[in-house]
Amino acid sequence: VLVDDAREVTQDQAAAYQPTGKKRNAPKPGKKVSASKVGYKSSAESTDLERRVYVRIERSDDHDTLLSLKETITLHHGDTEVVLVLGPTDQKQIIRLPMRMTASEDSLLVLSNLVGAENVRLR
């Protein structure tokens, strides 16, 4: 849920609420739309926009590497989603980053040099 403005309602405010008596309108049913009109694609039609770059960093407290990773993604800004995999193998934490990057050979090579080729995957 995305909101433009929000405020906290305390327990006292909620308990003191007085209904206004206005009736709410029921939502209208939407039109049925075929999948082709919405833009769904079969797996054979998938594009680079659906690909992701996975970057594995074993130590989440390595601030220098994380900062370098952020700078690299910013320099290679593009349309490919970036997923960060943090922590040891038995306690992985997956974080989808809000930034996107290009999935070119050059940008993937820079990432490989930063965290190691075995820690960068394009899928």
Token pair 């050979």 in the structure block, residue: 105
| Crossing angle for the helix pair 105-115 and 63-75, to the nearest 10 degrees | 170
pLDDT value at residue 10: 84
Q: Which two tokens stand for residue 76?
A: 């290679």
The pLDDT-based confidence of 104 (bands split at 50, 70, 90) is very high
Share of the chain above pLDDT 70, in %: 80
11-65: per-residue pLDDT in tens? Answer: 888 888 887 877 777 777 766 655 554 444 444 444 555 799 999 999 888 899 9
Give the whole-angstrom CA distance, residue 123 versus residue 21: 54
- pLDDT, averaged across the chain: 82
Q: What percentage of the chain carries pLDDT values higher than 90? A: 50
Residue reference for tokens 């049913």? 29
Give the type of residue at 35.
A
Q: Which of 103, 82, 85 is nearest to 94 (CA)?
A: 85
- Give the integer Cα–Cα distance in Å for 123 and 93: 18
| pLDDT over 80 at 2, yes or no | no
Beta-carbon neighbour count of residue 108 at 10 Å?
20
